[in-house]
Each structure stands twice: as C-alpha cells, then as structure tokens.
C-alpha cells in the first residue's frame, strides 16, 4: 500500500436539506413551495428553502415568533413509566398479553399533550436510580426522556439545599414563622426550559457507570431494612398520637445531618492518623455532609467566624421550626401516616419502593401541577391531617382514580387556545397529531 493511499482522507458529504422539514410554505426567494422549518427554539423558529437554501449564512435569517407557553408540570411515578414502557415494548411479556389497555391509553394521551406543548413530565434521579436496577434500563430511560424532552428535576441534594438556605435566610432574620412555600421557585428545582417549544431532536447521553448499580442495590437494601426496623417500632407505639410521630420525624432530620457530619470528620481524622483505610466513603463526603457545609457557608457569608458558623448551623438544624421547610414537612407527615397505620394493626411492612416513593414525593410535590403515583402514597396524601397541611394545589392521581386522571388530561386539551393550535400546525404540520406507539419497535433487546 502506497503512502498516498494510506494517508488518503475520507470525505463525508452531508446534504443540508435533511435539516429542513415540512410543513412547507412558498419561498420568498425562488417562489417554490419548499420553504421549510429549519430550527425551533424556545420562543421562535426559523425557515429555509430546501431548493435554493434561502436564507444562506450571509443573509438575514427568517425568524417567526411563537406565543408564550404555560405548560403543566406532571410527575409520573416510576411504576407508570414502567407500565407504559412494557405495554409498548415487544421485548416484554406485557406487550404480548395486552390485557390492560389503560397504559396504552395513558401513553397516547400523555404523548399527545406533550406534542401539543401543553404538559411536560420531568424525570428525576429517582427514575434513573430505580431504572438502573432493572433489566430494562435503556427502555425505561427512553420513555422518561421522551416525555420530559430532557427536562429534569434537580438532584435531591440540590433541592434540599435550595429549600434549607431559603429558610435559613428567614430564620436568621427572625422570620422563621413565614411560609416558605410562597418563595418556592420551580425554575431553581428543575433543569431545562419548561415552557419551550420543542425541537425535533432529543439528545440522550449515558448517565451512569456500571459499577454504580451494585452500590445502588446495596443502598436500596439498606434503606429498606431501616424502614422495616422503623415499622416494627411503630407497631409497638400504640400510645402515640399522629403529632408525636410527626414531631419525632421532622426533628430527626436535622439531628441526622449533624451526626453524619461529625462522624465524617472523625473518619477523616482517623484516616490522617492511619487508623482507617482510605475508602469511597472517606474520599467522597455523603450528602448530609455537603448539606451541613452548604448551611455553614451560608452563615460564613453573613460574616460569622468558622466556629460561630458551625455553632449557628447546629442551632439551625436543631430548630423546631425546621418543620416549615417543605421537604422536611412532607416527608415527616408521610412517615407519621405510615406509623399511624402500623400502630393501628397493619401487619405487613411497606415494600422496598415505598421509602423511595415518599422521598421522591417530598421533593417534587411542591413543584408539580399534578402527580400520578402509587395507590398507597396517594391515599396517605388524601388523609387528614396531611390533606390539610400539604396545600400546594397539586392534583393527586393513582390507579384508584385513574379515570379522573384521564378526565384531567382531556380537560387540558379542551382548554388549549386556538392560537396555540394554529402555531402547532404551522411549525409541526400533522406530526403532533400522531402517537409514537412504535417507540420500541426497532429495539432488539435491552442491555
């Protein structure tokens, strides 16, 4: 083989017309009906001719502005994502049986509202973590990324710190009795543009390493064992009132952060003295340590010394008014409701997913217009005093009222403005009217 042949550069040509899509209009330059959609942005889109490529790079772009959207945020629990995936995926038993048409019906409605720019269904780290420990990770990921268009909730840790620092600011100024809910900012809790007009492409990137899966399973098992231990204790506490459990739960949160922080410091000292070996846990601080540090830095920024900032952080985390922080209050109320059931005679402890479910609900509920969750958690949220103390206006749906959920989705479509429908047709043609039931048809198996 000659040197020239070895060094030959392979040339790849890309036809720019492939990026121009229907619906087409008459081109203002060449007059042909080939003036298609080039790119779609948050609040406008551009067109280019598929024949003469007007406007070219040196010409002023043809920009068309779009109306402002107000999408509803709907959180779909993992079990809903899983069941919709299975009913559409030829590689699952549910697909061949096709007994429960509800999930197919639900997907078609959700996807239609998504394409109509009426709703967005953000995914969360709870979806990712629960998907990773199943044999259908890629298929589940495909589903929740499709319906979210890449919009996702911030991590549990970030939402936790955002809410705590918001409250710490009130607490420091003596306004700790004020309603934190009024200052919740959805944009701080969600990554990505909620109210954007959708482009035609979704970019998906790997978001885990294989060795994380074993660690996730260990964490889930450990968390479930802790939940069972708590349940056994609750069964013996027949003399407790609901508020007894509630107070214990919300005060336990702050103390657990403090304990974990100083435990980590002791481990660091022991490691420096070579009394313990270096491990993943000693190299990378756990979430509670990062939470403590974030609060401490908040007080440092207020002008306190290092020691005073630590003292103030401990005082803040031990404050009874910490129950006003949304995720603390919601989790404590849900845990207290479970404790009440245990003490009332419930024999079987909650399954492994329950701890994950109540944690997920605690962090996402305040930011959602509606949530579709499992029956048990939905029932808890509708019990008193939970229904009286958790007032975010979020609509609660589960399989127990699944027809009401369908009715709710239908009502959203009925209320869409004619202006929005006009622009849907202008930008997407008829594509927004078609369901995507073939989402898994090209897949040969899951990894």
- Give Dmax over CA atoms of the chain in angstroms: 90
274: left (phi over 0), alpha (psi -120 to 50) or beta: left
Phi, psi of 321 (to 5 degrees): -75, 0
- In a 3-state reduction of DSSP, which class is residue 39? strand
| Band (35; pLDDT cuts 50, 70, 90) | very high
> Tokens in use for 48?
């280019």
pLDDT digits (tens, 9 = 90+) for 137-159: 999 999 999 999 989 999 999 99
Model confidence band, residue 260 (pLDDT cutoffs 50, 70, 90): very high
Q: What is the pLDDT of residue 446?
A: 46
Q: What is the pLDDT of residue 252?
A: 95
The CA-atom distances, in angstroms, between 86 and each of 162, 292, 372 are 36, 41, 17
* pLDDT number for residue 355: 82
> Are the C-beta atoms of residues 398 and 375 closer than 8 Å to each other?
yes
Residue with the bigger pLDDT between 44 and 279: it is: 44
Phi and psi angles of residue 25, each rounded to the nearest 5 degrees, phi first: -120, 175
pLDDT score of 200? 76
Q: How confident is the model at residue 274 (pLDDT cuts 50, 70, 90)?
A: low
> In this model, does residue 222 exceed pLDDT 50?
yes
Partners of 14 in beta bridges: none
Q: Using an 8 Å Cβ cutoff, are 408 and 397 in contact?
A: yes
Query: Which range has the worst mean pLDDT, 47-56, 162-171, 185-194, 213-222?
Result: 213-222
The Cα–Cα gap between 295 and 288 comes to 11
- Read off the pTM: 0.89
Task: Using alpha carbons, select from 274, 385, 411 the residue that is nearest to residue 332.
Answer: 385
The DSSP code for 123 is B
Portion of the chain with pLDDT greater than 90, in percent: 66
Show contacts of 382-385: CB within 8 Å, 24+ apart: 383/337, 385/242, 385/333
Is the CB of residue 137 less than 8 Å from the CB of residue 447?
yes
CB atoms within 10 A of CB 410: 12
Average pLDDT over residues 114-136: 93
The domains of the chain are located at 17-65, 227-401
Partner residues linked to 75 by β-bridges? 371
Alpha-helix runs per DSSP H in 383-417: 386-389, 402-414
Higher-pLDDT residue of 113 and 173 is 113
Measured distance CA(44)–CA(427) in Å, rounded? 10
pLDDT of residue 279: 57
pLDDT (tens digit, 9 = 90+) per residue, 362-371?
999 999 999 9
What is the Cα gyration radius of the chain? 26
Per-residue pLDDT reduced to its tens digit, 38-89: 999 999 999 999 999 999 988 999 999 999 999 999 999 999 999 999 999 9
Task: Please give the Cα distance from 29 to 247 (Å, whole number).
Answer: 71
More confident position, 254 or 350 = 254
Structure tokens at 17: 């017309």
Short-list 191, 192, 195, 171, CA closest to 183: 171
pLDDT for the residue numbered 318 = 95
Does residue 7 carry a pLDDT above 70?
Answer: no
- Dist CA 52 CA 30 (whole Å): 7
Euclidean distance between CA atoms 49 and 39, whole angstroms: 12
Query: Which single residue is written with the structure tokens 């999408």?
Result: 71
Residue 230: pLDDT band with limits 50, 70, 90: confident
Torsion, Cα of 436, 411, 75, 321 (10° steps): 170
């Amino acid at each position: 083989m000659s040197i020239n042949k070895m060094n030959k550069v392979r040339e790849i040509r890309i036809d720019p017309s492939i990026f121009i899509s229907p619906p087409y209009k008459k081109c203002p330059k060449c007059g042909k009906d080939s003036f298609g959609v080039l790119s779609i942005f948050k609040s406008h889109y551009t067109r280019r001719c598929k024949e003469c490529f007007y406007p070219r790079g040196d010409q002023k772009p043809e920009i068309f502005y779009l109306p402002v959207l107000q999408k509803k945020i709907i959180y779909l629990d993992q079990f809903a994502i899983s069941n919709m995936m299975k009913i559409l995926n030829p590689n699952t038993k549910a697909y061949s049986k096709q007994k429960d048409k509800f999930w197919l019906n639900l997907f078609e409605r959700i996807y239609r509202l998504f394409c109509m720019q009426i709703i967005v269904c953000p995914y969360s780290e709870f979806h990712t973590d629960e998907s990773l420990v199943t044999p259908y990770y890629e298929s589940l990921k495909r589903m929740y990324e499709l319906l979210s268009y890449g919009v996702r909730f911030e991590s549990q840790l970030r939402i936790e710190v955002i809410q705590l620092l918001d409250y710490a600011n009130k607490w420091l100024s003596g306004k700790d009795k004020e309603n934190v809910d009024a200052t919740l900012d959805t944009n701080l809790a969600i990554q990505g543009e909620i109210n954007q007009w959708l482009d035609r492409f979704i970019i998906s990137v790997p978001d885990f390493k294989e060795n994380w899966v074993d660690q996730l399973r260990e964490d889930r098992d450990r968390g479930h064992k802790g939940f069972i231990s708590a349940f056994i204790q609750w069964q013996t506490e027949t003399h407790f009132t609901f508020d007894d459990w509630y107070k214990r739960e919300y005060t336990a949160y702050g103390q657990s952060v403090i304990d974990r922080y100083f435990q980590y410091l002791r481990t660091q000292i022991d490691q420096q003295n070579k009394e313990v070996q270096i491990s993943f846990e000693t190299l990378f601080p756990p979430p509670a340590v990062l939470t403590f540090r974030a609060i401490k830095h908040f007080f440092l920024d207020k002008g306190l010394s290092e020691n005073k900032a630590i003292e103030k952080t401990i005082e803040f985390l031990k404050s009874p008014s910490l129950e006003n922080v949304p995720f603390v209050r919601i989790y404590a109320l849900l845990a207290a409701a479970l404790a009440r059931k245990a003490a009332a005679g419930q024999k079987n402890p909650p399954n492994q997913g329950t701890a994950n479910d109540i944690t997920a609900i605690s962090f996402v509920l305040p930011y959602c217009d509606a949530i579709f969750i499992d029956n048990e958690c939905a029932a808890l949220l509708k019990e008193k005093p939970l229904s009286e103390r958790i007032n975010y206006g979020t609509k609660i749906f589960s399989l127990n009222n699944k027809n009401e959920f369908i009715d709710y989705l239908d009502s959203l479509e009925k209320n869409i403005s004619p202006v929005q429908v006009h622009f849907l047709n202008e930008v997407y043609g008829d594509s927004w009217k078609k369901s995507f039931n073939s989402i898994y048809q090209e897949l040969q198996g899951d990894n």
